[in-house]
Structure 1
């Protein structure tokens, strides 16, 4: 039995290869935060009552049915369209509402029951839905860092597609992996400005807005902060300095409106506080960790699918 750890050298650049590290499972604790566990098929079984289970090799063999595979945008040569913060959030919210919101209705109903969350108050009836919409709306806030936006403009100038609007807050550039201009423009922009990381920074910058949206519900607040901080890497545990562009607060308000939140103030955005972000992550209790896993799973699905359509 082995677990897989993905190491992203540059999480802002999906064209760079991800290093995959396999580790032999020598202790049950290694499974707690494992994103993928690989078990030899001779030890796998499935039945209608128990679902997946581990079996002895001499039992009847089992194999999953083959699936249909296609090559999406996210495989191989990834492309992007120039996209503003509001456009990106709007696309993700649309995908969430069309594809996933109804799936969470039953889960949310169960989690809102008194006994669903041992040792804690039940979640609000719409708590999980609000948490996921908040995560979508706020997960890329720190891409509106001044340095990130400066890099975007250098890159877009390099491909002869300049951004004339000073308040246009880009989250994706126009990237075509088969166009040599794009690679040349990226290298030239990299030499002038280094794009700062944004995941942990987005979680910290948005923390007070998240708390307001979720009415102080600590398990949900922690789950959303953890999901945003780790929406690129499950091992993320820190954040760096950030300085948001003056146009960022207005973009955040517009994105929140698209997600169905109309009463949040941009004054709640935090400016790079001196805190340990791990103090605000989900506690390592099963049901709290489950909230984080649900939110980050759907956040990443909506993020990826929004690019499939570009």
Structure 2
């Protein structure tokens, strides 16, 4: 019996512990309200509706505050544009240089940045054989820019963004060009100036004001210049010279004799920072 005493003691202890556990569990569950009793309460659904209204109101307040706080959407716009750029430009114009793609991509992305204080100016340098390609790329670039901004892309808007430089060949056209470019930047956020090389040099100096680094009235906009360099550069130049050097050289060529040297330098600084040399693309359908 003495050998079995520890066993009896252990079993008795377990029995007492189980009894205590049962009694405590019963005591805890005695205060619970059955679910059927809760559902039978006539005010239950009223409380539920009030609770749902409160949650909805709180959610609405948070969403409204988030909207009014001016959340920066520029990263999403730049991502959206990058996707459109790869699909509609990089994969279509396969003869263009990687340097050209990078210039176009980073130029437009800077216009979509929340910190853009002046319109980036992208100069398309094209020969006579590649000018149509430059026009097609500029239009697709404009479409992608407008879509990324959430603006309407329509045939009418695409027609309005284009300004022909051949219409502003006289000094008297200065203010017409100024008003036309300002209107496009204010309403459409982008302007394509085709035949830029035909602009009167004094008219072209408008860009020094509208695309000024510190005092531009049109931030987060973009200006595209289409330039036909014709036969100004040799084939060797087109393949070996730096694109920025060619842009500055051609700008000096068409502006000297009409503008002071300081004005020419200021204009070069404004429009020659993002030049893109365009290669001809055969069998290309214009947009």
Q: Which protein has the larger Cα radius of gyration, Structure 1 or Structure 2?
A: 2
Bin of the TM-score, shorter chain as denominator length: under 0.3
Q: TM-score, normalised by structure 1?
A: 0.24
**Higher RCO structure, 1 or 2 (CA under 8 Å, sep 6+):** 2
